[in-house]
Structure 1
Amino acid sequence: MKTTSPAERDIQIAKATGRDTRTEILKRSIRANVPLRKTFVQAPRGSTSRHGPLRDFVTGRDLRGLKAYLLIVAACSNGTDGWSTRHDSAVWARMMDIDRTATDQAARTGAWRALRRLQERNLITCTRKGTMITVTLLREDGSGAPYERPVGQSEQDLYLQIPAAFWTKGYDEQIDLPALALLLVVLREKNWSKFPAERAPDWYGWSPDTHERGLKKLLDLGLVERRPQYTKAPLAPSGVTMAYQYQRTAPMRPRKPRKQAATKLNGGSAAKPEHTQTKKPAARAARQGR
Structure 2
Amino acid sequence: MKTTAISEQNIQAVKATGLDTRAAVLKRAVRVNVPVRKTFVQAPRGSTSRHGPLKEFVTGRDLRGLKAYLLIVAACSSGKDGWSTRHDSAVWARLMDIHTTATDQAARTGAWRALKRLQDRKLITCTRSGTLITATLLREDGSGDPYERPVGASDEDLYLQIPSTFWTKGYDEAVDLPALALLLVVLREKNWSSFPAEKAQDWYGWSADTHERGLKKLMDLGLVERRKHFTKAPLSPTGVTMAYQYQRTAAMRPRKARKKTTTPAAGTTVLGGFGSQSAAGAAGRGR
TM-score normalized by structure 1? Answer: 0.91
* Structure 2 counterparts to residues 84-233 of structure 1, below 5 A: 84-233=84-233
Counterpart-to-counterpart distance in 2, 1:129 and 1:113: 15
| Unaligned stretches of 5+ residues in structure 1 | none
Report the residue type matching 1:47 in the other structure.
S
Whether 1:270 aligns to 2:275 is yes
> Quick check: which has more Rg, 1 or 2?
2
Runs of at least 5 residues in structure 2 that lack an aligned partner in the other structure: 263-269
Bigger CA drift: 245-254 or 72-81?
72-81
Change (3 A) 1:214 1:51: same
- Equivalent residues of 1:30, 1:78 under 8 A apart: no
The equivalent of 2:286 in structure 1 is 289
With the length of structure 2 as denominator, give the TM-score of the two structures.
0.92
Structure 1 counterpart of 2:42: 42
SS of the aligned residue for 1:135 comes to strand
How much does 1:186 deviate?
0.4
> SS where residue 259 of structure 2 aligns?
helix
- 1:115, CA displacement in angstroms? 0.1
Q: Which amino acid letter does the alignment assign opposite residue 82 of structure 1? A: G
Q: In the superposition, relative to structure 1, how do residues 134 and 164 fare at CA in structure 2: closer, same or farther (>3 Å)?
A: same
Residue 12 of structure 1: how far off its partner (Å): 1.2
Matches of 1:252 and 1:198 in 2, distance apart?
25
The CA distance in 2 between the partners of 1:228 and 1:131, in whole Å, is 53
- Map of 1:252 onto structure 2: 252
Whether the aligned pair in 1 keeps the contact of 2:86 and 2:133 (CA below 8 Å) is yes
How many residues were matched structurally? Answer: 276
Shift of 1:231: 1.2
Q: Percent identity?
A: 78
Matches within 5 A, 1:15-26: 15-26=15-26
CA distance in 2, matches of 1:64, 1:253: 24
Cα deviation 1:70-114 (Å, max 9, x = unaligned): 000000133341100000000000000000000000000000000
Task: Please state which structure has a larger fraction of its residues in helix.
Answer: 1
Partners of 2:239 and 2:23 lie apart in 1 by 52
Deviation of the 1:8 alpha carbon: 3.0
- Mapped contact 1:138–1:146 kept (Cα < 8 A): yes
